[in-house]
Amino acid sequence: MIFIDYKDRRPIYEQIVDKVEELIIKGVLQPDTQMPSVRAFSVELSINPNTIQKAYAELERRGFLYSVKGKGSFVCFQDSLLEEKRIKIKEEISKNVEEAKLLHISEEELISLVRNVYQKNKGGNEV
Amino acid sequence: MIFIDYKDRRPIYEQIVDKVEELIIKGVLQPDTQMPSVRAFSVELSINPNTIQKAYAELERRGFLYSVKGKGSFVCFQDSLLEEKRIKIKEEISKNVEEAKLLHISEEELISLVRNVYQKNKGGNEV
Amino acid sequence: MIFIDYKDRRPIYEQIVDKVEELIIKGVLQPDTQMPSVRAFSVELSINPNTIQKAYAELERRGFLYSVKGKGSFVCFQDSLLEEKRIKIKEEISKNVEEAKLLHISEEELISLVRNVYQKNKGGNEV
Amino acid sequence: MIFIDYKDRRPIYEQIVDKVEELIIKGVLQPDTQMPSVRAFSVELSINPNTIQKAYAELERRGFLYSVKGKGSFVCFQDSLLEEKRIKIKEEISKNVEEAKLLHISEEELISLVRNVYQKNKGGNEV
DNA sequence: GTGGTCTAGACCACG
DNA sequence: GTGGTCTAGACCACC
């Protein structure tokens, strides 16, 4: 399900956090599903358990997981999380568009860029 | 001219690199202008000269500066650098848009986001 | 494996970069091999860790190494790097030949020079 | 006659040394010609007299100039200098060819490289 | 343990 | 004075 890219400059735990988050948002991991135990997951990915622990802690902090003592970690998905992410990504896009404007990329070019991404995979991987 | 944000998680030298690059692209720093000397700049920002040195070296590697031993560091700007940056920022935006799509942000909303950024400061940012 | 020549006018970190590059190209250092840690290597060569760090950073920039915080530095070799080096060395040789021509060294002499290098160690340098 | 390239990474005095040497070898500067005085030359190139001084000293050390107290510096060209340079350039070519061999550039390719340089400008700029 | 950043202070070559 | 390299020693995030 998850593949660690050691050549990726981002820390491993962050790669895991991002991937799990994505799977939850995509609906692949359904709410209240139990996550693999720290130990099991660490064996599966052959990485240090501490790293998984850190990833789970971060996911819990962000509100994508909740842990029950003695039972394990579970997917916790609320719409508010989606909204938060939407705001974040829109802020990032704003920042990038501003930089693009500075580089004299035209409004039209950016809009057609947006359209292209939305056309891509049309009629295919709808969830 | 430049302000170091110690709360920023990015390393100091990277903040400097990005800021100087921006100033060059904006045209605030004109080609062949002499940059402040490593030592003078380090005093101005109250950081270690080595950190400035690292920033200047990176800027030279990227083609925004050229340094001459015994003379100083100078702004060196070619159009090809702009084109490279344009490609990079477009890739970045594409990735952003894809993520936005995943979050069910509509094509229209993104487009109006782009338009807003381009409208902002319209006819006003001349000093 | 590596010897620092303090009489050499080139900086230490550059000597290291060149030597490691050579070892990778020669195949002595195989892809994904772990390099000695910055600290271990610095002890081995009795130089400052920062100097090794600088060498590794440059090797990473050139695409011969990739480093992962908390894990180590690893050999990372792609064929495209070879092609780049080939182009560079051919340019260098062209410049040399032009200078040789200026010095009235005959075409034949240079060609026999080339042939000699290629004959040397013929059928002998297998270990 | 001489143009300083400030974007060239080599020190200025070295650029001057190389250029003067080239002019002498090419025969543009004839033996026993008087060189411009340090002051005149430094004004002409708008650089520091110390830099010219250093270049002249190096050229004298190499045997391309001789200075007469109270009179100035003069071109001094002996065939032995040419021979030295020939040996040097051949050594450098050998080194580079060896590296090319390591990169699996074929003997034939290098030889045709040599031939190409010799064909270029055929029948034109003979001195 | 690892790589990466930063400081303090030194030395060198160059102009 | 300038840029560039190096050392010594510290701290951080990550595994």
Mean residue pLDDT of chain B comes to 93
In this prediction, residue A125 carries a pLDDT of 53
- CA-closest candidate to residue B107, choices B98, B120, B116, B119: B98
**Residues of A with Cβ-Cβ distance to B94 under 8 angstroms:** 113, 117
Q: Helices C79-102 and D12-26, interaxial angle, to 10°?
A: 50
Q: State how far residue D74 is from chain C, nearest Cα, in angstroms.
A: 22
Q: State how far residue C28 is from chain D, nearest Cα, in angstroms.
A: 13
One-letter amino acid at C45 equals L
What's the residue count for chain C? 127
Measured between CA atoms, the residue of chain C closest to residue D92 is C96
Give the pLDDT confidence of A70-83 residue by residue, as tens digits: 899 999 988 899 99
Residues 6+ apart with CB under 8 A from C64: C20, C21, C24, C75, C76, C77, C81
Give the mean pLDDT of D55-69: 95
- CA-closest candidate to residue B71, choices C58, D56, D5, C10: D5
Give the pLDDT confidence of A31-60 residue by residue, as tens digits: 999 999 999 999 999 999 999 999 999 999
Residue A91 contacts B, CB cutoff 8 Å: no
**Residues of A with Cβ-Cβ distance to B96 under 8 angstroms:** 89, 92-93, 96
> Between the CA of A64 and the C1' of F1, what is the distance in angstroms?
58
Give the mean pLDDT of D74-97: 94
Specify the pTM: 0.90
| DSSP E strands, chain A | 65-68, 72-75
Give the mean pLDDT of A79-92: 93
Q: Are A52 and A16 in contact (CB under 8 A)?
A: yes
**Residues of A with Cβ-Cβ distance to B103 under 8 angstroms:** 25, 82, 85-86, 89
- Strand E: positions under 7 A of a protein C-beta atom: 1-10, 13-15
* C127 confidence band (pLDDT: 50, 70, 90): very low
Mean residue pLDDT of chain C comes to 93
CA angle D11, D14, D17 (to 5 degrees): 155
Give the mean pLDDT of D93-113: 96
Residue C65's Cβ-count burial label (10 Å; 0-12, 13-18, 19+) is buried
Which residues are C68's β-sheet partners? C72
Mean residue pLDDT of chain A comes to 92
Q: Is the per-residue pLDDT at A61 higher than 90?
A: yes
In this prediction, residue D127 carries a pLDDT of 47
Nearest nucleotide over every DNA/RNA strand to the C49 CA, judged by C1': F7
In this prediction, residue A127 carries a pLDDT of 47
Residue A29's Cβ-count burial label (10 Å; 0-12, 13-18, 19+) is buried
Mean residue pLDDT of chain D comes to 92
Give the pLDDT confidence of C54-89 residue by residue, as tens digits: 999 999 999 999 999 999 999 998 999 999 999 999
Q: Please name the residue whose C-alpha is nearest to the C1' of nucleotide F15.
A: C70
Q: Is the per-residue pLDDT at A124 higher than 80?
A: no
Nearest nucleotide over every DNA/RNA strand to the A10 CA, judged by C1': F14
Nearest nucleotide over every DNA/RNA strand to the C14 CA, judged by C1': F5
Reduced to 3 states (helix: H, G, I; strand: E, B; else coil), residue C72 is strand
Between A106 and D124, residue with greater pLDDT: A106
Token pair 């990227």 is found at B62
Measured between CA atoms, the residue of chain A closest to residue C64 is A7
Q: CA A12 to CA A50: how far, in whole Å?
A: 11
Q: Which run of H or of E encompasses C75?
A: strand C72-75
In this prediction, residue D125 carries a pLDDT of 53
For an interface test with C, the pick among D113, D114, D126 (most C C-beta atoms closer than 10 Å) comes out as D114
Residue A11 contacts C, CB cutoff 8 Å: yes
Q: CA A44 to CA A23: how far, in whole Å?
A: 17
Q: Is the per-residue pLDDT at C122 higher than 70?
A: no
Residue C30's Cβ-count burial label (10 Å; 0-12, 13-18, 19+) is exposed
Phi-psi region of D73 (alpha: psi -120 to 50; beta: other; left: phi over 0): beta
Q: Is the per-residue pLDDT at D77 higher than 70?
A: yes
- CA-closest candidate to residue D57, choices D66, D45, D48: D66
In this prediction, residue B97 carries a pLDDT of 96
Give the pLDDT confidence of B75-115 residue by residue, as tens digits: 998 999 999 999 999 999 999 999 999 999 999 999 999 99
Q: Largest alpha-carbon pair distance within chain D?
A: 57
Q: CA D67 to CA A94: how far, in whole Å?
A: 68
Give the DSSP per-residue string, A43-80: HHTTS-HHHHHHHHHHHHHHTSEEEETTTEEEE---HH
In this prediction, residue D124 carries a pLDDT of 53
For an interface test with D, the pick among B71, B75, B76 (most D C-beta atoms closer than 10 Å) comes out as B71
